[in-house]
Amino acid sequence: MRGRNIATAQAQVRRELEKAFELIARRWERQARKLSSDFQGLRLHWHQAARYLEIYGHETYELLLAFHERRVMRSIRVNTLLVRPEELERLLREKGLAVQKHPYTWYGLVVKETPHPLGALHEYMLGLYTIQGPASMMAVPALDPKEGQRIADMCAGAGVKTTQISQHTPTARILALDINRRKLLALKNNASRLAAFNIVAVQMDARNIPKLGKFNAILLDAPCSGEGLLHTAKGRWPRTFKDTLSRVQLQLQLLDAGVKALARGGVLVYSTCTLSVEENEYVVSKILEHYEDIDVTEPPIPGGSKGIESYANLPLNPNVKRCRRYTPHKDRTEGFTICRLERKS
Amino acid sequence: MQTREKKLAPCPRKAVIMVARRISCHTTSSIPQSLTLYCLKRGNYIDVYAVEGRLEEYIGDMASQENIAGDIVTIGVHIARLVEHDKTDRGAKLVPMLGLAQLMRRYTGIVKGYAVVNEHAEKLFLYGRDILQESIVELKPPPKTCKNIIIVLNKQLIPLGWGRIARRAERIYIQNLVDAGWYLRSGV
């Protein structure tokens, strides 16, 4: 595999994933179909149920499926460029909100109760906070960006994590990429609202990032199946094996491009809002096969569980156990996976 | 906008002076040295952006800039718009954006040319309304050369937007020029 282009490995990827799915289907199809029927409201395709039964087994997976939306933490990220968390906490309490500290990060707040929609408060309009999921908020601390670095956010979207990087490193140079111009216009407004002066946003296919030189830190919050959002109404739609396969192919191309653009001694965080092994530990393992000087390291963040080391006979690198998984039923967060990769210096 | 078309460039001296003059209406400082101003021409107006450092530090060296296969959508924060006067020969007019108030809040502080308003006025102002005299808690007018344009602050001294002091029947009020709610109402 070494020295081969990741694009030419796509055929091998397809074969490996199809073989793994055949094994999963033989083991779990009957139980998966029953779960799909029992949890009709989740619009679960049996393909998806079977894959997660392979990860968690029946008892734990049923627990995960039953975890209701209201039990997942609702969180906001304090914009520390403009206000201290304790000051915002005080302002929100005066408006009748019940808030408490985020369990894993000092600038997050968990909203227990609010008499107003979170996006309608003046404090939101004035840039004192932004709305962000509790596990999603952990990707940037996992990256641990430093001042003076050149940093890229490869699939920046509306800039929620991009502006979070700016909070960590107000004078680093942050390049935000996205293929969707409309999302980047939202990023423009968010940068203004949150007073983030060190972000340049470019509409481009992030697979071309190697043309832009080397970066010390890269965040790749990759487009994914969104299976980690099953507890929300918009996260529920039937996902077949083919949906997973098409995501994996794109994720591999993006991660390969990100690794090519990573400077020596640099860090790349690969994150998704899914708990699927195919889209996380497998994608990372494939990249590790191609690059001898890249390894997975422990992210400097609390909470979550370790990465999956064994799944349906797929070839997984043993170091993917250093990935971090956040799950609704254990962590009360959206389903989210974070893998931190480093290039040797 | 493609960088190849060269519509985006560091702002000319005239534009930088206009922004510096506006800042001097509200602070004792000037444009922070760490920020560079970039101007993007669109039709008959020019958008002004302020960014930490220089553009090349973000998108790479000149070779990368020429090869960049996409559009630059935003650079730092959009702080102002320069609008050409239609019928006069008076040159461009500077329209401050919320980003300019955010710049002063983060980098220089705001010591003059502002009004502090109460909670009721804060709500109305963020919905695009003007502010009546009875809602003004504190008013520190700008120097006379500053065209009565002020930053509107809430009681926590957080910028809500820009206004202009006006008079009607011996009472003053503040006209809403641009407010933080505009960005959400504009749907972008």
Q: What is the pLDDT of residues B1-36, one digit of tens each?
A: 334 444 788 999 999 999 999 999 999 999 999 999
Find how far residue B126's CA is from the centre of its chain.
Answer: 16
Residue B64 with chain A: CB contacts under 8 Å: 211-213
β-sheet bridge partners, residue B47:
B40, B81
For chain A, positions 166-195, list CB contacts with chain B under 8 A: 170-171, 173-175, 177, 181, 184-189, 191-193, 195
Question: According to the model, what pLDDT value does residue B162 have?
Answer: 97
Q: What is the ipTM of this complex?
A: 0.91
Indicate whether B63 pLDDT > 70: no
Rounded to the nearest integer, the mean pLDDT of chain A is 94
Find how far residue A291's CA is from the centre of its chain.
Answer: 22
**pTM for the full predicted model:** 0.94
Inter-chain touch A126–B57, beta carbons under 8 Å = no
Residue of B8, B38, B49, B58 to mutate when probing chain A, most A C-beta within 10 A: B58
Spans in chain A with pLDDT lower than 70: 1-5, 7, 68-70
A151: contact with B, CB 8 A cutoff: no
Question: According to the model, what pLDDT value does residue A2 have?
Answer: 44
Question: According to the model, what pLDDT value does residue A305 have?
Answer: 97
Q: How far is B170 from chain A (nearest CA, A)?
A: 32
- From the list A81, A189, A202, the residue facing B183 with the nearest CB is A189
Residue of B64, B77, B81 to mutate when probing chain A, most A C-beta within 10 A: B77
3-state secondary structure of B134: helix
Residue B73 with chain A: CB contacts under 8 Å: 181, 184-185, 187-188, 201-203
Residue A205 with chain B: CB contacts under 8 Å: 69-70
pLDDT tens digit sequence for B136-174:
999 999 999 999 999 999 999 999 999 999 998 889 999
Question: According to the model, what pLDDT value does residue B2 have?
Answer: 39
Query: Residue B180 and residue B178: Cα distance in Å, rounded?
Result: 7
Inter-chain touch A203–B181, beta carbons under 8 Å = no
Q: How confident is the model at residue B70 (pLDDT cuts 50, 70, 90)?
A: low
Residue found by looking up tokens 């989210």 in the block: A336
Inter-chain touch B58–A174, beta carbons under 8 Å = yes
Rounded to the nearest integer, the mean pLDDT of chain B is 88
Residue A89 with chain B: CB contacts under 8 Å: none
Residue among B165, B78, B174, B170 nearest B128 (CA): B174
Question: Amino acid identity, residue A195?
Answer: A
A286: contact with B, CB 8 A cutoff: no
Question: According to the model, what pLDDT value does residue B169 have?
Answer: 86
Compute the count of residue pairs across chains A and B with CB atoms less than 8 Å apart: 126
Indicate whether B87 pLDDT > 70: no
Question: According to the model, what pLDDT value does residue A71 have?
Answer: 83
What average pLDDT score do residues B78-86 get?
Answer: 86
3-state secondary structure of B47: strand
Question: According to the model, what pLDDT value does residue B62 have?
Answer: 57
Kindly identify which residue of chain B lies nearest to residue A200, measuring between CA atoms: B75
Q: Judge whether A140 and A168 are in contact, CB under 8 Å.
A: yes
Question: According to the model, what pLDDT value does residue B20 have?
Answer: 97
Query: Which residues, including other chains, have CB under 8 Å from residue A74's CB and lie 6 or more apart?
Result: A110, A111, A118
Question: According to the model, what pLDDT value does residue A7 have?
Answer: 67
Question: According to the model, what pLDDT value does residue B65 have?
Answer: 64
DSSP string for A257-317: HHHHTEEEEEEEEEEES---STTTHHHHHHHHHH-TTEEEE--S--SSEEPP--STT----
